[in-house]
């Protein structure tokens, strides 16, 4: 044990030790049953006389804070812990550098988040989430797989593995992508801590603070938060029913010379639209002409319920133009925190090394379990099953909206993915709607968070239509309808 | 399935589909047993006539690449896959931005790494590793705990949890730190993907490229790699037997105004030294006077075998000066990838948010299992047991060095930790020694990687003394002795 002692302090050493331990026990940070070091040991650790430690211990024992089991040592006794002292609250005594921390947009939309957390309804229904329905994932099978892997690999399952990710899992990913029409080599796959880390690695490797990144407007709020936190200059190209308006892209490339184009070509977050085939080819051409890499976020690319599929941008890449990012979080389970990127050319090796300096590696255990569980056939079956269910849920939400929401609502039914993007009538504000909705027991993601200029999204909101059963969807949208009518009545 | 089709291409569509699938099957990326989409489905996906798809399928079936099970669909057949085409090799056709990627020091020491990988000895003994002996960790108990957690929490164990980390685990960490003499609140703990991510988050939040960071010389090579990759200006203060030479620090602070001081005060990597008590107080005072935060890397702070323990810098922190980083990787298992940082003041909240934009969260499953397994008592017992074993191994290595290495070797026996830092006699170069050592079947970490100026470390090498049994240590050091003698004979 390493107790701070001040030999200049007039307070005797035994008292300093006693006070330190007393404070720990009363504050609860020294838990009951914690074994204090043997007095000889602590005396040696602290370079004091053994008697000094014994005096401190017996003072504590006299106050009933510790007790000693003969031959086994001194143990902390249960006590009524004082409330924990958290130092995170604002405080003038913080050093100057703490009072002037860079904001980096990290405070963004705290209000909205806070509001969401304080939902008080007995049975709230949230359409705000960004993930799919994890109840569809057979947790029990996965438990058995974890068992099998630990039995099979023992301690190896818990060691650093290949820094690019567990090789058999990269093989499986290559096979799954091929079954989706994207043929790549496992040598081009890098396993990451979810797709979010992939976005962070790529953008931080290719850009420095002050550099310009081009995104769609609107776009995934988690990407905006990331790019703001990294102090990038962010410019945008609007999205329409065909995805990014690539015809407006060239002018931006000429004017601002962005270092990276971030796009979500399939079932775009939040709008749910898909980039048309013609625009995909155009995008690749522009990326070539202006020497700009493309970061393709394909977070639910294969979750299509109807309509014509377009090839991944990566499948149109003549080589080294597109970095393709995807994840198992949406299709399977968020908590796995396993995503991946596909890159070719020198940038792949740089990304592997950059990942390494950032967190050394991603948990090998989860990767092995995932590899053991996810065969191509199983993945395809899970995908078919989920698509069938989500298709019905999308339709259920469209019907419920027709039934319960006032005329003037604008929606463009998505052909797949997770999200339905809705515009409120009469310039009603989604931010104003949220508290009313929450009081009705329903929750959504206001549009403002998905725009560079939050005002641009004021009338928009995003609904996750895959996460609840059709019954809950009907109920939730009915509540939303009530909230909208209340807002109309007071507007 | 999303197959790229080019309607301008004179090649008929059925042939384009056939070629795409053929290439996938022959390259092996389309795995045997993969189920191709039903022809109706694929026709709809691609917006072509169903006959077109059926023509493509029957062409492939005629060539024995696929077969159709009546009523169940078309499946890929096993074939002799061609060698995978990896696009990572150098290639003039890469876009310009790929040919001019920022190096960011990510290429550093590739040669040495490469050499290590190509060890050809039947029974190599490596002292190069940076982790402790994971065989001491009861993998079987941990397997059972994983089971229990999955049974108890089901799917919840696999969802995003509290972004600061699983609350009960943060409690446990606070208790463990208290048992080590550092009293903090769980509200000040942030769980990270190993301590490496903690270093990355803190340094990236507080510094921008071009900003100056102050480190010890030598220091942890993984930190140097990280700071180089982030394009920081790196300055250093030398380490002696008492740790960082704090008396030389003030001049550096005045001249270069670093934004952060990175230090490893306990069982320093690579030298194994501990910062003296007086210098710890001095360091806090200077951090205050010059308004510089301290990043304390306490990766094995409690792994002491003898001598007097010093309080963690965080324990001397009047509030908000020190960010304390530690990990379970060294004491328990690297593959867990669970570390943590302790910070107070506004910077804590910023770090929580910055972690979130970087990877959303760290796997909840591992956190829950770890919390379930690691009680304070269990941790203390594991620590005592490991310390006993590692103490013996350290002594075994010291004895073996006396026995097998020529006079003129310089070592300063560490009082704890994992590493022994050795200087070769007669200015022998550790980089030159490495290939000879590897041919003898022993491995170590050359000193050059731990210095800003690699030349400063040329005569030094780092030995991990905890990872092998005393017998293996004896054998390995004997091999090292042979290698040194060979180097002497040719020098």
Among the listed residues A338, A331, A342, A112, the one whose alpha carbon sits nearest the alpha carbon of residue A221:
A112
Query: Which of B 382-441 lie inside 8 A of A, CB atoms?
Result: none
In chain A, the percentage of residues whose pLDDT exceeds 90 is: 57
Taking alpha carbons only, the member of B409, B359, B488 closest to residue A195 is B359
Measured over the CA atoms of residue B399, residue B395, residue B449 and residue B123, the dihedral's sign is positive
CB pair distance less than 8 Å for A88 and B361: no
Q: Where are the beta strands (DSSP E) in A255-381?
A: 260-263, 294-297, 322-327, 339-342
Q: How far is A401 from chain B (nearest CA, A)?
A: 28
- Pairwise CB contact (< 8 Å): A345 & B98: yes
Strand partners, A442: A125
Q: Which residue has the tokens 């420095």?
A: A208
CA distance A467 to B227: 41
Q: CA B479, CA A127: separation in Å to the nearest integer?
A: 64
For residue A343, pLDDT beyond 90 = yes
> Are residues A94 and A80 in contact, defined by beta-carbon separation less than 8 angstroms?
no
Which residue's entry shows tokens 């199983």? Answer: A378
pLDDT at A73 over 60: yes
Q: Are strands A294-297 and A322-327 parallel, antiparallel or unpaired?
A: parallel
CA B160/CA B163 separation, integer angstroms: 8
Alpha carbons A174 and A376: distance in angstroms, whole number: 10
* Mean pLDDT value across residues A198-219: 96
Which domains, ranges and CATH numbers included, belong to chain A? 1-101 (1.10.10.10), 108-131+381-490 (3.90.1150.10), 138-374 (3.40.640.10)
Burial of B194 (0-12, 13-18, 19+ CB in 10 A): buried
* Beta bridge partners of residue B422, listed in sequence order: B411, B461
- Residue of A128, A179, A186 to mutate when probing chain B, most B C-beta within 10 A: A179
Per-residue confidence at A86, pLDDT binned at 50, 70, 90? very low
**Could A98 and B346 be called an inter-chain contact, meaning their C-beta atoms sit closer than 8 Å?**
yes
Residues 6+ apart with CB under 8 A from A165: A189, A190, A191, A340, A362, A367
Torsions phi, psi for B193 (to 5 deg): -80, 80
Å between B491 CA and nearest CA of chain A: 35
Which spans in B93-193 are helix H?
Answer: 96-99, 110-117, 139-153, 167-179
Decide if B394 contacts B307 (C-beta within 8 A).
Answer: no
Beta bridge partners of A327: A339
Contact status of B113 with chain A (Cβ, < 8 Å): no
Nearest to residue A372, comparing CAs of A141, A201, A186? A141
Q: Which residue has the higher pLDDT, B163 or A255?
A: A255
State the first-to-last Cα distance of chain A, in angstroms, to the nearest integer: 64
Q: Which two tokens stand for residue B112?
A: 């040495």
**pLDDT value, residue A81:** 52
**Cα–Cα distance for residue pair B49/A190, rounded to 1 Å:** 37
Are the C-beta atoms of B193 and A359 separated by less than 8 Å? yes
- The CA distance from A239 to the nearest CA of chain B, in Å, is 22
Q: Does A81 contact chain B (CB < 8 Å)? A: no
Other Cβ atoms within 10 Å of A159 Cβ, number? 17
Tell me whether residues A363 and B359 touch, CB distance under 8 A. no
∠ CA A318-A321-A322, rounded to 5°: 105
CB of A351 within 8 Å of any CB in chain B? no
Confidence of residue A316 (pLDDT cuts 50, 70, 90): very high
* C-beta of residue A182 within 8 angstroms of C-beta of residue A228: no
Which of B28, B41, B66, B87 should be substituted to probe chain A, the one whose Cβ sees the most A Cβ atoms within 10 Å?
A: B87
Contact between A24 and B302 using a beta-carbon 8 Å cutoff: no
Full strand arrangement of the beta sheet holding B294-297: B189-192, B339-342, B322-327, B294-297, B260-263, B212-217, B233-240, B243-244
> For residue range A228-247, what is the model confidence (pLDDT) as tens digits?
999 999 999 999 999 999 99
Specify which residues A66 forms β-bridges with. Answer: A76
Q: Give the C-alpha separation, A483 to A303, whole Å.
A: 31
Q: Are B153 and B489 in contact (CB under 8 A)?
A: no
Higher pLDDT among residues A135 and A207, named by residue: A207
Q: pLDDT at residue A444 above 80?
A: yes
Q: CA B189 to CA B183: how far, in whole Å?
A: 12
Q: Which residue has the higher pLDDT, A167 or A120?
A: A167
| Of the partner residues A185, A308, A350, the one whose CB lies closest to the CB of residue B84 | A185
In this predicted structure, the answer to whether residue A389 has a pLDDT above a threshold of 90 is yes
Find residue B461's DSSP bridge partners. Answer: B422, B446
- Enter the tokens of residue B127: 């002292």
CA gap A334, A142 in Å, rounded: 14
Q: How far apart are CA A272 and CA A463, in angstroms?
A: 10
CA gap A78, A75 in Å, rounded: 10
B489 burial via Cβ count (<10 Å: 0-12, 13-18, 19+): exposed
How far, in Å, CA of B30 to CA of A424, rounded?
A: 45
Interface test with B, best of A34, A65, A158 (most B CBs within 10 A): A158
d(CA B352, CA B360): 10
Mean of the pLDDT values across residues A307-326? 93
Structure confidence at residue A350 as a pLDDT band (50, 70, 90) = very high
Record: contact A106-B354, CB cut-off 8 A? yes
Rounded Cα gap, residues A139 and B473, in angstroms: 44
Closest by Cβ to A185, choosing from B86, B347, B357: B86
Pairing of strands B73-76, B66-69: antiparallel
Provide mean pLDDT across the span A72-86: 67
Which pLDDT score, from 0 to 100, does residue A179 have?
Answer: 85
* Whether B320 contacts chain A with CB within 8 A: yes
Contact A127, A467 (CB under 8 A): yes
pLDDT at B9: 86
Q: Closest to A337 (Cβ–Cβ): which among B155, B222, B361?
A: B361
How far apart CA B223 and CA B299 sit, in angstroms, is 12
> Residue B7 has what pLDDT?
85
The token pair at B264 is: 């490893």
What does the DSSP 8-state code read for residue A69?
E
Q: How far apart are CA A443 and CA B429, in angstroms?
A: 65
Greater model confidence, A88 or A405? A405
- Each of the 491 residues of chain B gets a pLDDT tens digit; together they read 888 888 888 888 988 999 899 888 888 888 888 889 988 889 988 989 999 999 899 888 888 888 888 777 898 887 755 444 444 444 558 988 898 888 888 765 554 554 554 557 888 999 998 888 878 877 888 888 889 998 898 878 877 778 899 999 999 999 989 988 899 999 999 999 999 999 999 999 999 999 999 999 999 999 999 999 999 999 999 999 999 999 999 999 999 999 999 999 999 999 999 999 899 999 999 999 999 999 999 988 889 999 888 899 999 999 999 999 998 876 677 678 899 999 999 999 999 999 999 988 888 888 998 898 888 778 888 888 899 999 999 999 999 999 999 999 999 999 999 999 999 998 899 999 999 999 999 999 999 999 999 889 999 999 999 999 999 999 999 999 999 999 999 98
Contact call for residues A33 and A25 (beta carbons, < 8 A) = no
If you search the block for the tokens 């301590």, which residue do you land on?
A: B195
**Does residue B78 sit at the A interface (CB-CB below 8 Å)?**
no
Q: What is the mean pLDDT of residues A138-158?
A: 85
Question: Residue B6 and residue A399: Cα distance in Å, rounded?
Answer: 37
Look up the pTM and report it: 0.88
CB-CB contact of B12 with B51 (8 Å): no
CB-based burial of residue A435 (10 Å sphere; 0-12 exposed, 13-18 middle, 19+ buried)?
middle
Least CB–CB distance from B336: residue in A158, A188, A316: A158
The two three-digit tokens of residue B97, written as one number: 């931005």
B24 contacts on A by Cβ (under 8 Å): 178, 183
Higher pLDDT, A391 or B374: A391
How near does any CA of chain A get to the CA of B50, in Å?
13
Q: Cα A480 to the chain's mean position, in Å?
A: 26
Are B45 and A304 in contact (CB < 8 Å)?
Answer: yes
Q: What is the mean pLDDT of residues A43-53?
A: 90
Position A373 confidence tier, pLDDT thresholds 50, 70, 90: confident
Looking at beta carbons, which residues of chain B come within 8 Å of A319?
Answer: 87, 91, 93-94
CA A52 centroid distance within chain = 51
Q: Do B183 and A27 touch (CB under 8 A)?
A: yes
CB-based contact A186 B84, cutoff 8 Å: yes
pLDDT of residue A114 exceeding 70: no
Cα separation, A397 vs A395, whole angstroms: 5
The Cα–Cα gap between B341 and B324 comes to 5
Provide the 3-class DSSP secondary structure of residue B435: helix
């Amino acid at each position: 044990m390493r107790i701070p002692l001040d030999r200049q302090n007039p307070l005797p050493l035994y008292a300093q030790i006693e006070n330190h331990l007393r404070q720990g026990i009363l504050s609860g940070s020294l838990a009951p049953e914690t074994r204090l070091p043997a007095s000889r040991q602590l005396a040696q650790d602290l370079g004091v006389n053994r008697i000094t430690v014994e005096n401190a211990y017996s003072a504590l024992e006299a106050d009933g804070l510790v007790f000693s089991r003969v031959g086994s040592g001194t143990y902390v006794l249960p006590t009524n812990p004082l409330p924990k002292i958290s130092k995170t609250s604002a405080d003038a005594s913080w050093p100057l550098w703490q009072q002037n921390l860079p904001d980096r947009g990290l405070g963004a939309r705290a209000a909205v988040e806070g509001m969401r957390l304080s939902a008080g309804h007995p049975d709230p229904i949230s359409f705000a989430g960004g993930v799919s329905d994890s109840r569809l994932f057979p947790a029990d099978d996965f438990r058995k797989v974890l068992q099998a892997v630990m039995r099979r690999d023992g301690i190896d399952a818990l060691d650093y593995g290949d820094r690019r990710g567990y090789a058999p899992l990269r093989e499986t990913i290559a096979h799954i992508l091929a079954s989706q029409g994207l043929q790549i080599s496992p040598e081009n796959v890098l396993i990451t801590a979810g797709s979010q880390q992939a976005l962070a690695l790529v953008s931080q490797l290719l850009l420095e603070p002050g550099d310009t990144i081009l995104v769609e407007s609107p776009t995934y709020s988690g990407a905006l938060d990331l790019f703001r936190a990294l102090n990038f200059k962010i410019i945008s190209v609007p999205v329409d029913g065909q995805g990014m308006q690539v015809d407006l892209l060239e002018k931006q490339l000429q004017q601002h010379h962005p270092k990276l184009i971030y796009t979500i070509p399939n079932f775009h977050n939040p709008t749910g639209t898909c980039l048309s085939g013609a625009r995909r080819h155009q995008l690749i051409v522009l990326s070539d002409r202006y020497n700009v890499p493309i970061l393709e976020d394909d977070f639910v690319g294969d979750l299509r319920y109807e309509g014509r599929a377009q090839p991944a941008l990566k499948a149109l890449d003549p080589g080294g133009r597109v970095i393709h990012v995807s994840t198992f979080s949406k299709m399977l389970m968020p908590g796995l925190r396993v995503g991946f990127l596909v890159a070719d050319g020198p940038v792949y090796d740089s990304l592997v090394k950059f990942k390494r300096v950032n967190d050394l590696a991603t948990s090998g255990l989860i990767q092995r379990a995932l590899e053991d569980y996810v065969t191509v056939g199983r993945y395809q079956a899970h995908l078919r099953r989920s698509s069938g269910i989500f298709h019905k849920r999308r339709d259920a939400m469209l019907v419920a909206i027709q039934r319960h929401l006032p005329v003037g609502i604008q929606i463009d039914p998505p052909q797949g993915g997770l999200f339905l993007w809705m515009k409120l009538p009469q310039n009603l504000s989604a931010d104003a709607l949220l508290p009313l909705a929450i009081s009705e027991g329903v929750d959504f993601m206001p549009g403002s968070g998905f725009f560079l200029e939050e005002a641009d999204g004021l009338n928009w909101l995003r609904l996750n239509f895959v996460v609840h059963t059709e019954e809950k969807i009907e109920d939730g949208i009915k509540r939303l309808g009530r909230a909208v009518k209340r807002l109309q009545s007071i507007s």
